[in-house]
């Protein structure tokens, strides 16, 4: 099975995605994710001071994948999919 860009294998019950968010927009993105509790979980990866973005790892339950896709598409240009090799 081939994996799409920004998506990697996860335990049977979840899909893992990696995204990049501008630090200026990060609080808004976090609030949106928190408001959609249960659709996805996220972890912010450590970053170097002065870097203008945050990289996040999203864990999406397979049963919520369609809802998560709608949510992520709705955020448009505020998020950027990443390939795990770019981290």
Taking the domains of the chain in order of start, what are their residue ranges? 7-86
Please give the Cα distance from 82 to 6 (Å, whole number). Answer: 4
Distances (CA, A) of 14 to 44, 51, 66: 18, 29, 12
For residue 49, give every residue at least 6 positions away whose Cβ sits within 8 Å of its Cβ, in sequence order, or none. none
pTM beyond 0.85: the answer is no
pLDDT digits (tens, 9 = 90+) for 16-68: 999 999 999 999 999 999 999 999 999 999 999 999 999 999 999 999 999 99
Q: Work out the angle at residue 87's Cα, subtended by the Cα atoms of residues 55 and 48, and round it to the nearest 5 degrees.
A: 65
7-86 belongs to which CATH class? alpha beta
């Amino acid at each position: 099975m081939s994996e799409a860009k920004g998506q990697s294998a996860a335990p049977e019950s979840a899909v893992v995605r990696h995204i990049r968010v501008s630090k200026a927009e990060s609080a808004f993105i976090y609030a949106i994710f928190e408001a959609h509790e249960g659709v996805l979980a996220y972890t912010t990866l450590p970053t170097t001071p002065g870097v203008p973005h945050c990289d996040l790892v999203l864990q999406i339950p397979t049963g919520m994948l369609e809802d998560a896709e709608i949510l992520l598409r709705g955020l448009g240009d505020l998020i950027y999919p990443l390939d795990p090799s770019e981290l």
